[in-house]
Chains A and B, each alone.
Chain A
């Protein structure tokens, strides 16, 4: 399979086609009602997901954006069959997640005091993912520039980038002002999550990850297939917005 390169022109065109802001977890207040006599149903009361808006970074700075795209390609390198993390949109996925409720820890319990606990008690940090990313990128930038004669992470060679990430993974490379190992764990989790989530969130563009593994996507009925053992399911994936060929994303 040949995947077409995502050209800058295509990206710009897609900016204009972007949907509304993300409604997910939006703080709509719903009033309590008394329900009797019949099931409550009103038209358009559901909250379907919104497609992320393509375009400039919403959370990352330009430098952070270059770094996260470089990391995305280290974690998921491009190969002849499947694009890498950058082209699949994993950096965009993380950017939009950090700019949204997830980045702000919406819905989590963030009352003080913030005490240090045991590992089994879970994170007790006041800082949410957005703040942690910001601090870690600043620290990573300082570490790269001091170790690699002034170069930012994105400007290192692929081998040097891998060395830096391996250092964070093992804990051998300590960051000043951030927990490098924790950042590494977070960033590979987020990149891989973006790769496999529905393309509506910005990663897994054109369902490249789902095609790669053979996951048929947002389908709803395998009744004809449950008893067909050890046969490859023949249909290509669909996403929540359908197939790329059917939608405005088609290129």
Chain B
């Protein structure tokens, strides 16, 4: 059977896209509360494309924060992408503007899709690019729908944010079905629990560091075996 990167990417990205649209709508609705034109919500989706950072942007704009504060806050909130990037250096080997777009368009969910699915080497770059752009388009669509609908009919978006949790659960279940390294998964759970116990407010970064260290040590062990 012929491997069509875009079609396969669409198939794999569909759960993410279905999660991004309601979440983007929640952002669009929230953004409208600032009183700006509705179309600026999808513009922010195009230019920032980071869910948590965009929700943060609403708070920053409401409080009158400056550009430096916005830059630093975004840098800190997305610092986990450093760890994602480390594992993608060799994967994102395409040259030109597509590479830069793929780096910009990396999100938690896009990372989960591109690292989870095995694709033929020669089709990888097209596949990664397709996943990135499909997810981005879904996010922009959600932002536009939320802000546009809110500008027409004011409605309560309470509960929309649950779509993100549901999305992660779908991705996790899919991942668990094909789990190969059970001990590492258990170590990761243990690291998260310990991090939560040690630093409840900042557990994400600490647990990412711990999981990265375990992964690297495990990788070295497998290479030297």
Instruction: Note whether A and B form a binding pair.
Output: no
B: which residues have CB within 8 A of A?
none
A: which residues have CB within 8 A of B?
none
